[in-house]
């Protein structure tokens, strides 16, 4: 789970097909209009936005190269994606080239900072006042 370096080829191809399939769904169908896409359970039950709300619309926007759309639907989407790509690519580079670049995800304070940012984001995006209201999905 930590890396994809040791997965069997069949599984890799399967994963690739699944990701490609989901990506094309998100490209051709607008989550705003389709009932096929799940509504966030947390939002349906509580009426509040969680840190993940707006991500499906953000994926749709990203696939249509609509960067302002990505940011307005989920402010943490792009930073989160960059961190995830970093976390996957850096260990792969270290392994492949036999180097040992330090991984900042393993620094002592990194997870705590991420935790603080995510919780702050979850709270602030539910405040109804400007400018916090900008953090709600789609605004």
Partner 1 sequence: MERIDKPQVPPPNYLVWAILTTIFCCLPFGIVSIVFAAQVNSKWQVEDYEGAKHASRNAKIWAWVSFGVAIAGYIIYLTLILLGVAVGFWTDAFNW
Q: Is residue 38 at the binding interface for partner 1, with CB under 8 A as the rule? A: yes
Site of tokens 């936005």: 49
Q: Is residue 122 at the binding interface for partner 1, with CB under 8 A as the rule? A: yes
Count of C-beta atoms within a 10 Å radius of residue 37: 16
Q: Is residue 74 at the binding interface for partner 1, with CB under 8 A as the rule? A: yes
DSSP code at position 106 = G
Scanning 23-31, 63-71, 84-92, 128-136 for contacts with partner 1 by CB under 8 A, the matching segment is: 84-92
CA distances from 127 to 73, 95, 135 (A): 15, 44, 9
Are 31 and 60 in contact by the 8 Å Cβ rule? The answer is yes
Q: Is residue 107 at the binding interface for partner 1, with CB under 8 A as the rule? A: yes
Q: Is residue 42 at the binding interface for partner 1, with CB under 8 A as the rule? A: yes
Nearer to partner 1, 42 or 69 (CB): 42
Largest CA distance in the chain: 51
What are 14's two structure tokens?
């399967």
What are 82's two structure tokens?
């960059």
Scanning 12-20, 31-39, 61-69, 128-136 for contacts with partner 1 by CB under 8 A, the matching segment is: 31-39
Residues in touch with partner 1 (CB under 8 A)? 1-2, 35-36, 38-44, 50-53, 55, 74, 76-77, 80, 83-84, 87-88, 105-112, 114-115, 118-119, 122
């Amino acid at each position: 789970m930590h890396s994809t370096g040791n997965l069997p080829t069949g599984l890799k191809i399967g994963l690739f097909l699944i990701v490609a399939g989901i990506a094309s769904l998100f490209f051709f169908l607008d989550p705003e209009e389709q009932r096929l896409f799940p509504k966030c359970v947390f939002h349906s039950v509580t009426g509040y936005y969680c840190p993940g709300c707006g991500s499906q619309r953000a994926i749709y926007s990203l696939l249509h190269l609509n960067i302002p759309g990505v940011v307005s639907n989920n402010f943490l989407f792009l930073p989160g994606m960059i961190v995830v790509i970093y976390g996957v690519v850096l260990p792969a580079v270290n392994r492949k080239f036999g180097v040992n670049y330090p991984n900042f995800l393993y620094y002592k304070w990194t997870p705590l900072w991420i935790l603080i940012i995510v919780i702050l984001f979850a709270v602030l995006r539910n405040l109804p006042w400007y400018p916090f209201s900008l953090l709600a999905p789609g605004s």
